[in-house]
Amino acid sequence: MNGTHSIQATTGGFIPELIIDGEDIIKAGFVAGAIFKIEPYQGGLLITLVSNEGEIERLLLDVDAHPHIGVDWIW
């Protein structure tokens, strides 16, 4: 079931939640070996697929320099 809705945050506010599943999750790039950059953006999170070695190297430098940027990968 794909969709969006808001969930109660532990801080008392509401945050948006995006649900992607089925074939759409694969189309979005969530596959084994995929690497994503995660950073705050306009009150939410921006999740960007990192697709090549040069981008991965730049991302690792960004993560070291900016503590608000994170990285995650799919196994």
pLDDT tens string 11-58: 777 777 777 888 888 888 888 888 888 888 887 788 888 888 888 888
Q: Quick one: pLDDT at residue 2?
A: 67
* pLDDT: which is higher, 57 or 10: 57
Provide the pLDDT confidence category of residue 1 given band limits of 50, 70 and 90.
Answer: low
What is the per-residue pLDDT for 28? Answer: 84
Q: What is the pTM of this model?
A: 0.61
CB burial of 16-45 (b: ≥16 within 10 Å; e: otherwise) equals eeeeeeeeeeeeeeeeeebbbbeeeeeeee
